[in-house]
């Protein structure tokens, strides 16, 4: 079973907190839209992604089981 990052773009307001925590996964473009560069949750990025989930002020990020 793998895990994926999921963003609710209706909630996201481009605060960029996630990008500050792990820019390899989350990126804001010039138009202020968030892109998930890499949606696999791996042992290497898991802790930082969980931190981004927790710190997102909008609660817009989730980790989903595939």
| Interface residues toward another protein, by CB under 8 A | 10-11, 13-16, 28, 32, 51, 54-55, 57-59
Q: How far is the CB of 58 from another protein (least distance, A)?
A: 6
The total of other beta-carbon atoms located within 10 Å of residue 5's CB is 22
Minimum CB distance to another protein smaller for 3 or for 14: 14
Minimum CB distance to another protein smaller for 11 or for 37: 11
SS3 of residue 61 by DSSP: strand
What does the buried/exposed string (b/e) look like for 19-39 if buried means 16 or more CB atoms within 10 Å of the residue's CB? bebbeebbebeeeeebeeeeb
Q: How far is the CB of 32 from another protein (least distance, A)?
A: 5
């Amino acid at each position: 079973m793998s895990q994926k990052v999921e963003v609710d773009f209706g909630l996201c307001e481009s605060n960029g907190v996630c990008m500050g925590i792990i820019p390899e996964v989350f990126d804001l473009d010039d138009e202020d839209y968030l892109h998930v560069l890499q949606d696999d949750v791996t042992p290497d990025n898991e802790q930082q992604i969980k931190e981004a989930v927790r710190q997102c002020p909008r609660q817009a990020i989730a980790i989903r089981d595939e």
